[in-house]
Structure 1
């Protein structure tokens, strides 16, 4: 399970972005979190991804309560979660070729030897050709860069995938391709998914269950208003 209970989170010297949020994703489940821009969804996604320490509340991954965040979190839990952000140009090192960008988590975790095999597996899965893999971010489109960012999120074969407005800046065909790549990965691995967004139609078509942001703030674990 990926569980957040009674989480309050914000940023230094500011009032909390949200208070008392709860959310649970079951293994293998595709859960959509629907809410307007600026409501705090992305901060919640970062907490769930172990990238942002909440002010209060409890986060558990596969039954283990998280007590350290970012690089201090246990590696086996940190690498169990793959994340795709909304703006690929803000999450990609502009100096790296796309092939190196995808393989970056392998190098960071001492698994460089796996890079060639994982690239051969993931590049076609996300729709990247060999010539694109040799380019840097400024030489490709937003859609092509987001394909590489999705491959990077999958390269460690995570058990949980968090997509934070992954397709918000993309056209319909690229959106469909990325969603298909996520679902093919989930079908092979049984990974759970938290898809965050403001597009109700997309989330309700993509996910087995969709919850409203307001329901996460009710103090309980949403699950009664399945889409």
Structure 2
């Protein structure tokens, strides 16, 4: 009887499907990384880079800071020079219109009044220029200008009173004294604003107050030395 032959248990090995998938996945990851690297850099640059509007706004803000710093310096110099001139007028008015009613007035003559008015006209001209700046600087500038104009009215009222009969003069003298107080108080507010502007700008305290006739209610300079920031 012929013997049965059995099928050999050995067979050709088949490619591993799992290994093939892993290799394919690895290649896909490498390709994605190569593409994503440069693409991510481009996207990051595009996101981080300010657009044209933001760049323009930043440039305008920088220009505003430089302009305001210059204006603060110029206004401080103008206020100091003007205060020196106005103190001369106020010193004369202090004798003509003494705050202490018990003190005898020393009436000013036409020549002295003309001198006051000349100083004031020159000061008005100096403060006529009003370049646009930040709101805080514009407020200080406007305060100084208004104070000078109020002092002009003070002297004009005093001059008019000298043309009146003595019986009607006191009413106008009292009005002139009130106008002087308003002018000095307005200047003190502007000087305080200017002082703070200088501190904020890094210049330290800068005092441009009127000193001849401290009026009741007027703000006076602080005790902090000029140039310090505290």
State the TM-score bracket (shorter-chain normalisation): under 0.3
TM-score, normalised via structure 2 length: 0.23
TM norm structure 1: 0.23
More helix by share: 2
Determine which structure has more spread, i.e. the larger CA radius of gyration: 2
Of the two structures, which has the highest relative contact order with CA contacts closer than 8 Å and spacing of 6 or more?
A: 1
